Structure 1
Amino acid sequence: MNQPEVLIDIRAVLGEGPSWDEKESVLYFTDILEKRVYKFSPADGSLSRYAFPQYVGAVVPRQSGGLAVAAQDGIYAYDPDSGSLKPIGLPENPDPDLRFNDGKCDPMGRFWAGTTSLTDRAGASFLYRLNADGRLDVMLEGVSISNGLCWSRDGTVMYYIDTPTRTVSAFDFEMETGSIRNRRTAIEIPESEGAPDGMTIDEEGKLWIAHWGGFQVARWDPATGRKLASVRLPVPLVTSCVFGGSERNELFITTARIGLSEDELRAHPLSGAVFRVAAGVKGAETHRYLG
């Protein structure tokens, strides 16, 4: 496996939610706790910062222009040029202890995003699906820390991570309706590897999983549950990853520094940076929100 390089030398407290805008050839990602969305252009190295009034967990391009963001209390349409922020999907019974975390669009342009508790309540959270018409549906209950999502290339399987379970779940996925059923365990992550966080998939159907506390992004085979390869990183808190670049064969990796002691930060000073590695395989595209 190739060695990763530092792509963006920042110190995000909790870098997360990356997406690749293929039309603009830019990378978006968030710093949840600093309430920021970042846009990075690999072509010229420019980095733009957008401040939000609340936590923001994930960001995706929107088909009609601008971005869709999973913020603290719901999903919003955001226009980076004007700074306009408008709600497009808010939970019916909001719980102020919950915030939205990781999210991603399925191949039909529905935005899936889940929540997590600000006070670490187990089983208090949900996985939602925001449809193109703005309807927000609860798809899973009893979630603790909703994280990675991706879909098989043929669109028949959805993979999902609720981090404390230390597993990757697979669901049968109905492309037309966006329904999920038949949950089963595809991968079990040993404690020694760190906890599964964000995730993406390559065109060979293998999962690339960010390992929180594991110093790595690892490539796993969901058909066998086996670990195939590992990208070792010089930081412990690896949060998520997305494929991008002109050939979509570069893996962009977000990391964090939250909770690290002064000694740990001295030992791992690049914590919070964004890394890039040549993956040697083409990855899934970032789907746009169609609403």
Structure 2
Amino acid sequence: MSKAELLYDAKALLAEGPFWDEDNQQLIWVDIEGKNVHFLDPLGENETHSFDQRVGCAVRSISGDIYAGLDHGFYRYDPESGELHSIYDPEEDKPGNRFNDGKCDPKGRFFAGTMVLEGEDGDAALYCLNGGRTVSTVLTGATVSNGMAWDERKEVFYYIDTPTHEIRRYPYNFEDGTLGEPDVVYTAPDDGGHPDGMTIDEEGKLWVAFFDGGCVRRICPDEQQVLETVEVAATNVTSCCFGGKNMDELFITTGREGRTDEELEQEPHAGGIFKYRPGVSGAKSYRYDDQA
């Protein structure tokens, strides 16, 4: 089994949402429960920006601002001035939900989903912040909206609603951002952790983080099988993205929230940021098009 190496011993409560900023050669990541957005350079220098809400996901925009899904909806954040501006909360009537995973499609639309913390299963959704900062509903009926990836060559969108343990594949219209009818390309066994964040490589294979599984798995959606397992020195592996100068490094986020003191003694680097060289390059972290 392959092993990821520790890049930054963040000891985050719930590190998530890695975003590789190519222009600045840095990893943007969030600590959801720590209520922070972080900017990490490859040498291990980390800059922290704190908020008064949990931060489910954050992406860089073309203009350089940060767009994020927080407890109370979509926001724009200026990292230079520290100003935070509310855009829209699509679930103002659902105080038991919060935003979770999110990323941009190759056209610069910002997709972000919610998860149910208190309430009924199936009461979360996936939303899209379009150009012009209008918000549309993409999918409903989710419980823990999570991993997303786009295969541009095949014009498909992959999506994970974690409790289902399924990776679903949707025909994707890149012109208008609409989805077709899905099929299930992989169902994770119950004893291997829960599928969480996800990215895609240049060969169309999926890299999926497994929460409570201690690993990232490379999955072939066409053959519906695991091709490789990358061990991570933390049980709760949350997400991953490609980055580095050649887009051939896999950055992996983890969490330590919910682990007992005894368990943390066994995995002292839980909550850290890890790195792995998979031998293949992968998808960019696309910026939100705030100039559309």
Q: Please, what TM-score do these two structures have when normalized by structure 2?
A: 0.96
- Looking at structure 2, the residues matched to 190 and 61 of structure 1 have their Cα atoms a distance apart, in angstroms, of 35
User: Match for residue 260 of structure 2?
Assistant: 261
Equivalent residues of 2:96, 2:119 under 8 A apart? no
Counterpart amino acid of residue 56 in structure 1? V
SS at match of 1:119: coil
For residues 195 and 67 of structure 1, do their structure 2 counterparts lie closer, same or farther at Cα, with a shift above 3 Å needed? Answer: same
Q: Which amino acid aligns with 1:206?
A: K
Take 1:274 and 1:161, find their aligned partners in 2: how far apart are those partners? Answer: 22
- Alignment map for 1:23-34 (pairs within 5 Å): 23-34=23-34
Equivalent-residue separation in structure 2 for 1:236 and 1:242 (angstroms): 18
Give 2:35's aligned amino acid: K
Q: Does 1:14 align with 2:14?
A: yes
Indicate how the Cα distance of structure 1 residues 155 and 81 shifts in structure 2: closer, same or farther if over 3 A, else same: farther
Offset at 1:64? 1.5
1: distance between equivalents of 2:255 and 2:92?
30
The 3-state SS of whatever aligns with 1:133 is helix
CA distance in 2, matches of 1:242, 1:157: 18
Does the 8 Å contact 1:200/1:243 carry over to 2? Answer: yes
Amino acid paired to 2:40:
F
Contact 1:29 1:38 in 2 (8 A): yes
Corresponding residue number in structure 1 for 2:243:
244
2:245 aligns to what SS in structure 1? coil
Cα drift, residue 28 of structure 1: 0.4
Asked if structure 2 preserves the Cα contact closer than 8 Å seen for 1:254 and 1:272, the reply is yes
Relative to structure 2, which stretch is displaced further, 72-81 or 115-124? 115-124
CA distance in 2, matches of 1:177, 1:183: 17
Q: Name whichever of 85-94 and 147-156 sits farther off.
A: 85-94
What does the per-residue CA deviation read over 1:104-136, in whole Å, with 9 as the maximum and x for residues that have no partner?
A: 100110000000122263111011011011111
Is 2:2–2:231's contact at 8 Å kept on the other side of the alignment? no
Q: Give the conservation status (yes or no) of the 8 Å contact 2:98–2:114.
A: yes
2-structure distance, mates of 1:27, 1:6: 14
- 1:1-291 to 2 correspondences below 5 Å: 2-42=2-42, 44-91=43-90, 93-119=92-118, 121-154=120-153, 156-291=155-290
Change (3 A) 1:120 1:215: farther
**For the residues of structure 1 that align with 2:132 and 2:170, how far apart are their CA atoms?**
24
What is the distance in 2 between the residues matched to 1:35 and 1:22?
24
Structure 1 position 140, deviation (Å): 1.1
Distance in 1, Cα, partners of 2:19 & 2:2: 22
SS in 2 for 1:23: coil
How many residues align? The count is 290
Cα gap change, 1:216/1:73 in structure 2, threshold over 3 Å: closer, same or farther?
Answer: same
Structure 1 residues not aligned, in runs of 5+: none
Code of the residue aligned with 2:10 in structure 1: it is I
Per-residue deviation at 1:93? 4.5
- d(CA) in 1 for partners of 2:119 and 2:91? 22
Unmatched tracts of structure 2, length 5 or more: none
Contact kept, 8 Å, 1:128 with 1:136, in 2: the verdict is yes
